[in-house]
Amino acid sequence: MFGGLLRRGTEERDNIPISQYAAMWADQGAYSPVSVSTATALTNAASSACIDVLSKSVSATPIDVVRDAGVNRLPVSPTPRLIAAPSSLVEPDVWFDQLMVSRLTDGNVFGEIITYGSGGLPTSIEILDPDAVTNRRIVNGVPNVDVAGQTRQLYPFGDVWHMPGPYVKPGSPFGESPVQRARATIGAAVAAREFGSRFFGDGAHPGMVVSSETVLTAEQAEGIKKSLIRATKGNREPAVIGAGLKVDPIMVNPNDSQFIELMQFCIEESCRFWRVPPTMVYAATSGQSVTYANATQADLAYLKHSLEGHFVRIEKSMTRLLPRPQFARFNRNAFLRSDPVTRSAVVDRRLKNQTMTVNEARALEDEQPFGPEYDTPGLPADPTPDPTPQDPMP
């Protein structure tokens, strides 16, 4: 049935000139069988899962602030408020989650600058709902937007902070919506899901057909239908019908269930749009598997090909709001935290190469440090036979 619908649709389009197709694509972009919005994308399981995986990966990764000191980069303590507590309404991880969801749906992040610090740099920003930021335009070289019906200018000209998403056309500071770029895939997935629900439910086709050798009146047909419903609904008792009647159940032809394959394809295509490995949304492609042995390599590939672009864009945007020479940096090593056996081998090698101290290695395992003699890279020349952890700070 579904394959027939696709074939009929193809036949109906055979007579449309190619030039008309080109005009349709130029005016409307990719075709979608349903209207697609951010809400639609978040109701589609595959798209919502991809957005959630990326946003949680970023919000759960620690972000540090360091400053240049010659050839060295030293941690800044205490951490600037913009990084430690960018919002007075939500926790920092929620703030970064809001930032990522806005980037991945609208393609832009807008924030209301609430407080300023030294040098007029923002110290707290509340993320705005991108749907409330309209009429995005450039006036005399200055980016302008409307927020709640009022014209506002983007920082540093005004008090609305902006970070573009992954897709920014030349000549514009505003990003394109990833949801609208993926609207054909999202629309097809939503339409296939709705078709499947109706097909396997009771709305798209009857469960059986009763045929009669004689002409039936409307009253007789209604009576037969009610009798069969009473006999078959909620039990497995045999149904008894009169002479001249034949009951044919409607079965689903496997070839007419192609929408299941279509939905699987839509899941894979959603993963391609948001650059998320299918296994991370529990949708491994045929023949693909992830084992304990290659999980670390999978995380490294995910960081390199999926997260790195988001990390770099956020780091640069946050660094512009920090006093020089401070820099915001995501702790990629924390994201790539390996299993205990691999971690132990790496630490052992770094201690032998004198690129890590014993106390730094203990800190990685959330253990109390030994004495100050273990703050030198490598193993001490004359280590204490039985080192005892220092008492925790009061």
pLDDT tens track for 236-293: 566 666 666 666 665 555 445 566 677 778 888 888 888 898 888 877 655 555 454 4
Is residue 204's pLDDT more than 60? no
Q: How far apart are CA 255 and CA 3, in angstroms?
A: 7
Instruction: Classify burial at 380, counting beta carbons within 10 Å of its beta carbon; exposed 0-12, middle 13-18, buried 19 or more.
Output: middle
Say whether 73 sits in a helix, a strand or coil. Answer: strand
Among the listed ranges 65-69, 73-77, 116-120, 199-203, which one has the minimum average pLDDT value?
199-203
CA 4 from chain centre, in angstroms, equals 34
CB atoms within 10 A of CB 75: 10
The per-residue pLDDT for 18 is 41
Dump pLDDT digits (tens) for 327-337: 999 998 877 76
Strands (E) in 94-154, as ranges, are 108-116, 122-127, 133-139, 142-147, 150-153
Answering whether pTM is above 0.75, one says no
Q: Is the pLDDT of residue 218 over 70?
A: yes
Pinpoint the alpha helices (H) of 217-290. Answer: 218-232, 259-274
User: What are the tens digits of pLDDT across the range 132-154?
Assistant: 999 999 999 999 999 988 999 99
pLDDT of the residue at 236: 57
